[in-house]
Structure 1
Amino acid sequence: MNSLTPFPERAPDAVMFQRAELNEILSLYGRMVAAGEWRDYGISALRDAAVFSIFRRAAEQPLYRIEKRPKLRARQGQYQVIGMDGQILKRGHELRTVLRVLERKLIRAVE
């Protein structure tokens, strides 16, 4: 940690979400917060994955995790949505397509 910066530097080989990816995720997150479904989130940059965790309450385990795993890009796709029980709900090559599994829950919440 550099003494001039208040935040620890991330590991150079950590996976991160790009700005466009975060915009997609945060757009959905904002709509779900407005619907009263979600209340908190956390972002992790790990060596092999970037993880966006979604919580109903901060003290709970995440309802959903949106993961980016670049090593899976050539196989089933680098993006995946994982439920609270660890089940993969959707995976694919395009983030917007993968996030649709959560947007369906927004439609049900509004009805």
Structure 2
Amino acid sequence: MKQIPPSAFPGARAVDPIHFHRTELNVIMSLYGRMVAAGEWRDYGISGLKDVAVFSIFRHTAEHPIYRIEKRPKLSRAQGMYSVIGMDGHILKRGHDLKTVLRVLERKLIKAVE
């Protein structure tokens, strides 16, 4: 049986996954590099899905992420499209500016260095 691509159907449109922009990744990777240097984080994963882009942070390679940084453009007019989510699923910080949202994780870097 031959597969028919979704674009062959009238009215169907291809859904592009959500991704982090290069400038957003620069901000995230800057924090990630500092946390790796402090010995707090070890690995990461990036997922681009239909409604959300996720940057997952791991303490060890073979475990669940300790933090997830999510970008949900549909929430950009409401609570803000960026959020940091803890291991337990609670939202630690949400907002419109990525640097501001990531400050919740930078505080943990200050505690790790002391």
TM-score by length of 2: 0.87
Q: What is the RMSD computed on CA atoms of the aligned residues?
A: 0.9
Q: How much identity, in percent, do the aligned residues show?
A: 76
Q: Counterparts of 1:87 and 1:21 in 2: how far apart (Å)?
A: 22
- What is the match of residue 88 of structure 2? 85
Cα distance in 2 for residues equivalent to 1:53 and 1:12: 23
Aligned residue in 1 for 2:56: 53
1:87-102 paired onto structure 2 within 5 Å: 87-102=90-105
Q: For 1:14, what is the secondary structure of its paired residue?
A: coil
1:27 to 30, 42, 62: 30
Question: How far did 1:36 drift?
Answer: 0.1
2:35, 2:15 → 1: CA distance? 33
CA distance in 1, matches of 2:98, 2:80: 9
Q: Aligned partner of 2:86: which letter?
A: G
Which residue in the other structure is 1:41 paired with? 44
Offset, 1:13: 1.3
- Cα distance in 2 for residues equivalent to 1:54 and 1:48: 20
> TM-score if structure 1 supplies the norm length?
0.89
Unpaired segments ≥5 residues, structure 2? 1-13
| CA distances 1:32-67 after superposition (whole Å, capped 9, x unpaired) | 000000000000000000000000011100000000
- Alignment-mate amino acid for residue 85 of structure 2: I
Amino acid at match of 1:109: A
Q: Whole-Å Cα distance in 2 between the matches of residues 46 and 57 of structure 1?
A: 24
CA distance in 2, matches of 1:53, 1:92: 18
Alignment correspondent of 1:67: 70
Runs of 4+ in structure 1 deviating by more than 3 angstroms, as ranges, are: none
1:12 CA drift (Å): 5.0
**Distance across 2 between alignment mates of 1:92 and 1:110:** 26
> Following the alignment from structure 2 to structure 1, what is the Cα–Cα distance between the partners of residues 65 and 58?
5
Larger Cα-atom Rg: 2
Corresponding residue pairs, total: 101
